[in-house]
Amino acid sequence: MTSRRATMPLRASIAAAAAILFGASCSRPPAEERATAADLAAHVRFTAMWWSEAQMEGLNPNNPPPKNTEVVLTRWEYTDPVGVPHPDTVDAVVTVENRGKFPSPDVTATVESEWNIGPLDDKSAAKWDKAVVLTKTDRFQIPAASTHTTRVPVDLKAVMDRLEREQRWPHALRITVTVDEVGGKPAIARAQVEFPIRRGD
């Protein structure tokens, strides 16, 4: 009788503890759903400041007004000192898009550059140099159906001037963006865009 009486309070204690744990697990809110890699996409475009069409009318290249209009560029070329944009610096505008119904996990974006370098007038002999990291963002999260944008300036003129002194030329710029999940999967989104650079005649 003594042994049976001793085990009954023990069983009751175990049952009570199990009930408390079960109740706590039921009351805990479910983990928040997150967007998946399939919901995320990376994009790159190039922009620069240039003169507006109104400013170009009668513009004196020797005494030009400030460039106050942002334009989207698909290439750099010096074929017209005014009408065709050929800025000293461009912005690589990196956009990470969340097309899902839930917020993204915490991510970072790494932006790398490569230059296609060769003789001044022989693009066919140009080769891609080693990739260089331009920036790696702090961690960020993208709400559902939203975007996150980072601007990375690229000094074209500095590279052109340096190479031209060596009778070489950067025939193209390549920007690669890799989006990594913090503490999770690498390269859940990626984009790569080339930007041709054409010397004038």
Contacts of 178 (CB under 8 A, 6+ apart): 42, 109, 110, 112, 186, 187, 189, 190
User: Are the CB atoms for 131 and 69 separated by under 8 Å?
Assistant: no
At 34 the three-state DSSP class reads coil
What does the alpha-carbon distance between residue 179 and residue 110 come to, in Å, rounded to a whole number? 6
Class of domain 37-198: mainly beta
130-178 pLDDT, tens digit per residue, is 999 999 999 999 999 999 999 999 999 999 999 999 999 999 999 999 9
Strand ranges in the chain using DSSP code E only, listed in sequence order: 40-50, 69-73, 76-77, 89-98, 107-119, 127-128, 132-136, 146-155, 168-181, 189-198
At 32 the three-state DSSP class reads coil
Q: Which of 1-10, 81-90, 109-118, 122-131 has the lowest mean pLDDT?
A: 1-10
Domain borders along the chain are 37-198
**% residues pLDDT > 90 (the chain):** 78
The one-letter code for the residue type at 154 is: V
Burial bucket for residue 6 (CB in 10 Å: 0-12, 13-18, 19+): exposed
Quick one: DSSP state of residue 28? S
pLDDT of 2 > 90? The answer is no
16-47 pLDDT, tens digit per residue, is 555 444 454 444 445 679 999 999 999 999 99
The one-letter code for the residue type at 138 is: D
The candidate with the shortest Cα–Cα distance to 135, out of 199, 102, 178, 164, is 178
Which ranges of the chain does DSSP label H, i.e. alpha helix? Answer: 2-27, 53-56, 156-164
- Give pLDDT, residue 81: 86
- Give pLDDT, residue 41: 98
**Residue 125: how many CB atoms within 10 A of its CB?**
11
Question: What token pair was written down for 7?
Answer: 């085990």
Question: What token pair was written down for 32?
Answer: 């928040």
User: Are the CB atoms for 168 and 119 separated by under 8 Å?
Assistant: yes
Per-residue pLDDT, averaged over 100-110, amounts to 97
Burial bucket for residue 57 (CB in 10 Å: 0-12, 13-18, 19+): exposed
